[in-house]
C-alpha cells in the first residue's frame, strides 16, 4: 500500500513538474488563453445583468403611460381559433368582458367541424342574450396551402372590416386578459411616432413540473429586450395597430405566404419608420401545463421561425448561449485538471464556472419584477420564484439545443399542421401523408 502511495505521489509530482518546467512561451500562451476565456465569461455574465438593469430602469416609465386612448377609436379584435385550449371558455369570456366602449370581436376558425366553432357559437348566443349591444362575429376561413392557418384566419377577418374600423387588435385564444387589457394596448397608438404596440405572454404552470417551469423561464428570457424599441419584436397574442398604418405597411400582403404573424408585423411597423411600443401592463397569462416534449417542440418552433424571419435575433441568441455553454463545459474540465495537475492556469480556466452563479443572480433580479407585472399572480409567482431561478441554466442549455435543431431544418409543427418555411415570403403546408 505504501508503494502504491509513493507511485501516485510521484505521478502527480511528475505531471506538475512537467507542466512547471515546460517551455516559457507555451506556459504564457496557456495563461493568456485561460485569462481570455475568463474575461469572456465575465462579459457574457455581466451583459444580461446590464440588460436586466435597463429593463428595470425603463419599466416604471412604461407602466405609468396613459391607460386609455383619446376618444377610444373603434377597435376590431381578431381572434383566430383552432381547437380548445385549456380554459378556453374563461379565456373567451375575459375578452368579451373588456371595458372598452367601441369594441367588435371577430372569432375565426378554419372549418365548422373545429371544436372551437361549436364552443364559440354557444358563448356568442349566451352573451348576446345578456348584452345584445356587443358586436360579435364568427367566421369560417377555410383551409390554406400557402400560409399558416392562423394567418389565413386573420386575413379572412380583415376581409370583413367595416369602414368605421380605425384600430386592429390581434389576440390569441389561450390568454386570459383583465378588463382593461385592450384599452391599455390601444392607448399608445394615439402618440406621435408609435406605429404598433405589443404585449407579451406569461406561461403560468398549474403545477411546477419541469416542462412547465422550463417553458415559462425560457419564454421570460425575452423580457429585457422588449423595452428597447429599436430591437424589440411583437408577440402575436397581443398586437395593436392603426388601420391606416397596417395598410400602408402592407402587412396583409406579407401575411399571404407567411407563417409568422408577429415577425412580419414587426418588420412592417419598422419598415414604416415607426416605433413598436411594448406595453408591460399587457402581459397576458396563459394557464397551461407543458411536458418536456411539448416544451421542446414549442422552443424549437420559435427558434426556426426566428432564424427565417429575424436572423439578427437568432444569431445573437445562438452565439451567446453557445459560448456560455462551451465556457461552462471548459470550466468543469479546467476544475478537474487543476485538481489533478495543480496548475494555476487551470484554476483560472475553472473561473469560467462563475457564469452559472451570474446566470442565477440575473434570473433572481429579473423575476423579482414579476409581482409588479403580474399583480393577479403575485402570491403564485413568489411561491415559484426559486423554481424559475434555478431553471435559468437549464433554459440556456435548451436554447443551445434549439439553435442546433434550427440549423438542421426549416420545418415546424404548429397545432397539428406541418409547415416548411422556405423564406419569409414563401411557406409550404406539408400534406399529412408526407
Rounded average pLDDT over 108-118: 94
Residue 268 shares a structural domain with residue 233 = yes
Q: Residue 429 falls within a domain, yes or no?
A: no
Range of the structural domain that residue 398 is part of: 9-55+314-417
Same domain, 149 and 254: yes
Q: What is the pLDDT of residues 237-288, one digit of tens each?
A: 999 999 999 999 999 999 999 999 999 999 999 999 999 999 999 998 888 8
pLDDT value of position 5? 41
What's the CATH code of the domain at 108? 3.90.550.10
- Same domain for 243 and 381, yes or no, is no
**Is 426 a domain residue?**
no
155 lies in some domain: yes
- What pLDDT does 66 receive? 54
Residue 381 and residue 284 share a domain = no
User: 343 or 405: which carries more pLDDT confidence?
Assistant: 405
Q: Taking residues 97-116, what's their average pLDDT?
A: 93
User: Is residue 425 in some structural domain?
Assistant: no
Residues 306, 318 within the same domain:
no
pLDDT at 367 over 50: yes
Q: Is 338 within a domain?
A: yes
Whether residue 365 is contained in a domain is answered as yes
What is the arithmetic mean of pLDDT over 222-251? 93
Report how many domains make up the chain. Answer: 2
Assign 337 a pLDDT band (cuts: 50, 70, 90).
Answer: confident
Out of 16-25, 126-135, 223-232, the most confident range is 223-232
pLDDT above 70 for 6: no
In this prediction, residue 32 carries a pLDDT of 85
3-state SS record for the chain: CHHHHHHHHHHHHHHHHHHHCCCHHHHHHHHHHHHHHHHHHHHHHHHHHHHHHHHHHHHHHHHCCCCCCCCCCCEEEEEECCCCCCCHHHHHHHHHCCCCCCEEEEEEECCCCCHHHHHHHHHHHHHHHHCCCCEEEEEECCCCCCCCHHHHHHHHHHCCCCCCCCEEEEECCCCCCCCCHHHHHHHHHHCCCEEEEEEEEEECCCCCCHHHHHHHHHHHCCHHHHCCCCCCCCCCCEEEEEHHHHHHCCHHHHHCCCCCHHHHHHHHHHHCCCEEEEEEEEEEEECCCCCHHHHHHHHHHHHHHHHHHCHHHHHHHHHHHHHHHHHHHHHHHHHHHHHHHCCHHHHHHHHHHHHHHHHHHHHHHHHCCHHHHCHHHHHHHHHHHHHHHHHHHHHHHHHHHHHHHHCCCCEEEECCEEEEEEECCEEEEECCCC
Q: Are residues 88 and 210 both part of a single domain? A: yes
Q: How confident is the model at residue 70 (pLDDT cuts 50, 70, 90)?
A: low
pLDDT at residue number 55: 92
**1 located within any domain:** no
Q: What is the pLDDT of residue 65?
A: 67
Domain assignment of residue 61, yes or no: no
pLDDT at 49 over 50: yes
Give 167-193 pLDDT, tens digit per residue: 999 999 988 899 999 999 999 999 999
Region 23-41: mean pLDDT is 74
155 plus 239 within the same structural domain: yes
Q: What is the pLDDT of residue 72?
A: 82
Let me know whether 125 and 143 are in one domain. Answer: yes
Q: Are residues 246 and 98 in the same domain?
A: yes
User: What's the chain's average pLDDT?
Assistant: 87
High-pLDDT (> 90) share of the chain, %: 57
Same domain? For 21 and 94 the reply is no
Amino acid at each position: 500500500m505504501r508503494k502504491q502511495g509513493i507511485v501516485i505521489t510521484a505521478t502527480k509530482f511528475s505531471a506538475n513538474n512537467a507542466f512547471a518546467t515546460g517551455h516559457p512561451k507555451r506556459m504564457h500562451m496557456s495563461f493568456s488563453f485561460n485569462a481570455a476565456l475568463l474575461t469572456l465569461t465575465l462579459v457574457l455574465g455581466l451583459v444580461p445583468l446590464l440588460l436586466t438593469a435597463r429593463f428595470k430602469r425603463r419599466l416604471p416609465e412604461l407602466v405609468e403611460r396613459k391607460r386609455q386612448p383619446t376618444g377610444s377609436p373603434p377597435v376590431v379584435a381578431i381572434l383566430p381559433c383552432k381547437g380548445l385550449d385549456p380554459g378556453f371558455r374563461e379565456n373567451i369570456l375575459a375578452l368579451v368582458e373588456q371595458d372598452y366602449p367601441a369594441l367588435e370581436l371577430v372569432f375565426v376558425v378554419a372549418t365548422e367541424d373545429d371544436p372551437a366553432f361549436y364552443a364559440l357559437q354557444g358563448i356568442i348566443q349566451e352573451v348576446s342574450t345578456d348584452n345584445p349591444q356587443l358586436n360579435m362575429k364568427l367566421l369560417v376561413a377555410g383551409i390554406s396551402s400557402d400560409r399558416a392557418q392562423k394567418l389565413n384566419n386573420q386575413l379572412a377577418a380583415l376581409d370583413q372590416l367595416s369602414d368605421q374600423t380605425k384600430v386592429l387588435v390581434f389576440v390569441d385564444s389561450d390568454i386570459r386578459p383583465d378588463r382593461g387589457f385592450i384599452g391599455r394596448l390601444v392607448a399608445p397608438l394615439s402618440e406621435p411616432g408609435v406605429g404598433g404596440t405589443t404585449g407579451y405572454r406569461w406561461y403560468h404552470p398549474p403545477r411546477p413540473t419541469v416542462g412547465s417551469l422550463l417553458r415559462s423561464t425560457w419564454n421570460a428570457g425575452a423580457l429585457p429586450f422588449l423595452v428597447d424599441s429599436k430591437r424589440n419584436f411583437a408577440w402575436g397574442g397581443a398586437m395593436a395597430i392603426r388601420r391606416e398604418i397596417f395598410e400602408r405597411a402592407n402587412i396583409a400582403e406579407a401575411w399571404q405566404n407567411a407563417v409568422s404573424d408577429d415577425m412580419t408585423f414587426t418588420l412592417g411597423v419598422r419598415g414604416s419608420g415607426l416605433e413598436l411600443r411594448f406595453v408591460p401592463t399587457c402581459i397576458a397569462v396563459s394557464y397551461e401545463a407543458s411536458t418536456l416534449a411539448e416544451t421542446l417542440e414549442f422552443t424549437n418552433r420559435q427558434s426556426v421561425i426566428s432564424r427565417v424571419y429575424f436572423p439578427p435575433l437568432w444569431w445573437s441568441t445562438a452565439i451567446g448561449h453557445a459560448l456560455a455553454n462551451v465556457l461552462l463545459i471548459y470550466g468543469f474540465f479546467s476544475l478537474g485538471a487543476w485538481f489533478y495537475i495543480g496548475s494555476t492556469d487551470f484554476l483560472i480556466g475553472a473561473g469560467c464556472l462563475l457564469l452559472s452563479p451570474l446566470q442565477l443572480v440575473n434570473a433572481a433580479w429579473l423575476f423579482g419584477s414579476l409581482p409588479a407585472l403580474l399583480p393577479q399572480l403575485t402570491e403564485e409567482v413568489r411561491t415559484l420564484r426559486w423554481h424559475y431561478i434555478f431553471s435559468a441554466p437549464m433554459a440556456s442549455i435548451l436554447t443551445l439545443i434549439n439553435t442546433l435543431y434550427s440549423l438542421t431544418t426549416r420545418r415546424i409543427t404548429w397545432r397539428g399542421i406541418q409547415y416548411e418555411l422556405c423564406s419569409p415570403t414563401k411557406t409550404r403546408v406539408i400534406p399529412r401523408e408526407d
